[in-house]
Amino acid sequence: MKMVADQNHSSDSTPTEQEVIRRTEKIAKLLGTDKQNAEVYITLSDENRVLKKQLEEYHSQHNTLERRVKRLERDVKYLDECVDRGDVVDLIHEIVPSLISKKGPKGDVHKDSYYSSESSEDSDSVEIIEVREKKGCPS
C-alpha cells in the first residue's frame, strides 16, 4: 500500500501538461500586464513632469502679477491723494456739454468745431496742469 500512496503523492506534485500551460499563460499575462503598467507609469510620469513645469510657470506669473497689482494699487492710492474728486467732477461738467453742443444731428462733429475742439483741449490741458500744480502732483 505504501507504493500506491507514493504514486498518488508523486502524481499530485507533478503538474499535468494542461496545468503547466495554464500557469505559463498566467505568467505571460502577468508579464504583459507588468509591461503595460510600466508604459502607463512612464506616460503618467511624463505628464506629471509637464504639469509640474506648467505649475511652476503659473506660480511665477502669479507672483509677477501680484507685484504689478500691488504697484498699481500704490500708484492709484498716490494719484487718488493728488486728485480732488470735486475738481474732476467740475471739469467733466464743463467739458461734456461743450462736446455735446459741437456734435451734429447724427453725432458728427461740425467742420468748424474741429479747430475749436483742439483749442478747447489745449485749455483743458492747461486747467488740468494748473490743478496738478496746486496739488503738488507730477504731470
pLDDT digits 0-9 by tens, 79-102: 888 888 888 889 999 999 888 887
pLDDT recorded at residue 56: 97
Cell digits for 62?
502669479
Residue 132 and residue 139 in contact, taking contact as beta carbons nearer than 8 Å = yes
Does the pLDDT value for residue 133 go beyond 70? no
Largest CA distance in the chain: 131
3-state SS class at 1: coil
Distance CA 80, CA 71 (A): 14
pLDDT recorded at residue 52: 96
pLDDT recorded at residue 50: 96
Quick: pLDDT tens for 24-66: 888 888 888 888 888 888 999 999 999 999 999 999 999 999 9
Residue 117 and residue 102 in contact, taking contact as beta carbons nearer than 8 Å = yes
Q: Confidence class of residue 114 from pLDDT cuts 50, 70 and 90?
A: very low
